Every structure is written in structure tokens, then in C-alpha cells.
Amino acid sequence: MAGVMDSVNQRTQLVGQNRLELLLFRLNGGQLYGINVFKVREVLQCPALTLLPKSHPVVRGVANIRGATIPILDLSMATGLAPLQEDTRNSFVIITEYNTKTQGFLVHSVERIVNMNWEEIHPPPKGTGRDHYLTAVTRVDNRMVEIIDVEKVLAEVAPSSEQVSAGVVDAEVQDKAVLLRVLTVDDSSVARKQVSRCLQTVGVEVVALNDGRQALNYLRQLVEEGKRPEEEFLMMISDIEMPEMDGYTLTAEIRSDPRMQKLHIVLHTSLSGVFNQAMVKKVGADDFLAKFKPDDLAQRVVDRIKATH
């Protein structure tokens, strides 16, 4: 697996083409799972783990990897399945960066990388209920691949504060905010709730949509009704990784349509490790913000209110 990440820096060419690359892996059993390669720093045979007293049950231990101490999470156990085998020496660890934090996911085996179009990635079937850990599904070689909602996993294992610090939002801003709306787009139910709660602290009304395709159709409907998105919404805050249409492509589509191109767009994503700021400029977004820092997110909204109202 040493060479599996060798070309990760070349993958930026996928930006704006509505494409992604999935690293396929297995937990217990034959089911295939996928994770976006942009989130992955490296894949390695599971190193020796040191147990941490009173840690979350999902954390199998910590490992010293390239001079850093990294928590290793049993991804099978974290998603409600049986824990992986007690002896981890034959397992693999996928080292990832989410929301500016580094952690390893313990998996049974790693398969390969596949290049896909986001249009081939679909939301989970509606009959799966609310307690599942899927953010999307797709098919590879006629086999179902489940894409795990890692933000839901991390929110349960290591919850981050959703509180906005005192002083970030003043009374004058809140008075103006109550008349304003913000459009948010994210496929993770956990992320949608986090963002919505943060923005409600500022005082704005939130319209939350699930993916780029849904958002683009929504905005097109607005302009068909003779409305201007930049007048309807203070700004749009969009995730990047989403089924059907990613945030880059959504941004590029909005910028290419004269009827909606003035909408202020912030890309808000957990793609922090190998993320290149040039990607944001390439598709024409106004700003980029790493997930999930309530004060930073609230401040972006406050700044926008002060600049425009």
C-alpha cells in the first residue's frame, strides 16, 4: 500500500470536473466501503498500539506515526458493527485529516482507488432511517459501495463545541440578522445541524439543502420566478464533498449563470490536509473555511452582514 498515495498531489486536476477518487476498503465481512482520497494522508499496516485509559470504546489506542501521536479508531465498531479482530497486526490503518484533526481508521483490508464522477454517488436510500452512518452509496464493478459519514463518527467519538464565543455577535448585528437568510448545503446530517445551530446564534434564518444538485435546482427555480439569489440570501455556505454534484461544480455552475453569479459563496469543508487554496479561486468561490469552528463560521457571517447592511 505504500504507493497508493504517491500521486495524491496530482488529484487536484479533478477539481471543477465533478469527479472524485475513492479509496475502497473492507471492515468485517465482504461489504465494500469508500472514503474520498482527498481526506487520506497515507495507508499503512497497523502499527503497535498503546492503550489509553478511559478513552472512548471506539478508540483502540494511539500510535506514534512519523513523530506524531495519532488516535486509532475502530471504524467497524464506530459504525455500530462488531469490533475488528483483537489482534490488529494484520489490519490496516487509514490516516486521515478531517476538520484540521488527524486520526487513523482501523480497517480489515484496503482494496484500491477508483476514479468516479459525483453523479454516480447517490444519497442513501430513504428507507435506511436516521441512525445509519452512511452519507452516500455508489456501485463499483456491480458491487454496492457504502460511503461512511465520517463527520457523524467523529462527532460521537470526540464532540466539538458548537457554541459561539461571547463577543463574536453583537446586538446591532443580531438586529440586522433577523431579516436575512443564509443558504447552506451539506450532505452530512451532523454537519447541517452544526452549521444551522451556529448560524441561528448569529440570528439569520437558515435554508439547509442536502447536495449540490439540489441547491442548483433550487437556485434555478428562484431565478425562473424572477428572483435574484444575491437578494434572497446573504450568502451560500457549501460543503465540497457531496453526492450528485460537489461544491466546486456547484460554484462553477453558479458563476457561469449571469442570473445568479453575484451570490456570495463560502466553501466550508473538512478537506483540510491536501487542500489547495488555488482550487477555491479556480471555481470562483469568495472564501474558504475549514470545518468546524463555530467562531470562525459566525465571524464570516458577521463580516458579511457588516459589509452589506
List pLDDT tens digits, range 205-241.
Answer: 999 999 999 999 999 999 999 999 999 999 999 998 8
Residue 237: predicted pLDDT: 97
Q: Are strands 265-269 and 235-238 parallel, antiparallel or unpaired?
A: parallel
- 295 or 162: which carries more pLDDT confidence? 295
Write out pLDDT tens, residues 29-67: 889 999 988 888 899 999 999 988 888 899 999 999 988
Lowest average pLDDT, out of 45-59, 116-130, 196-210, goes to 116-130
| pLDDT for the residue numbered 124 | 87
- In this prediction, residue 15 carries a pLDDT of 55
Interval 179-198 mean pLDDT: 92
3-state secondary structure at position 98: strand
Residues 196, 228 contacting (CB under 8 angstroms)? no
Three-state DSSP at 68 gives strand
**Cβ(261)–Cβ(230) under 8 Å?**
no
- Rounded CA-CA distance 257/251 in Å is 10
Tell me how many degrees the CA angle 71-160-288 measures, rounded to the nearest 5. 100
The pLDDT value given to residue 8: 42
Q: What is the mean pLDDT of residues 7-35?
A: 76
Whether this model's pTM surpasses 0.85 = no
Sign, CA dihedral 244-22-78-273, equals negative
- Rounded-to-integer distance, Cα 65 and Cα 97, Å: 14
Q: What percent of the chain has pLDDT over 70?
A: 91
For the cut 80, the answer to whether the pLDDT of residue 154 exceeds it is yes
Instruction: Check pLDDT > 70 for residue 202.
Output: yes
Q: Which of 278, 104, 250, 132 is nearest to 186 (CA)?
A: 250
* Poorest-pLDDT segment among 45-54, 152-161, 172-181, 252-261: 152-161
pLDDT one-digit tens code per residue, 238-253: 998 888 999 989 999 9
Distance from C-alpha of 150 to C-alpha of 144, rounded to nearest angstrom: 18
Mean pLDDT of the chain: 87
DSSP 78: H
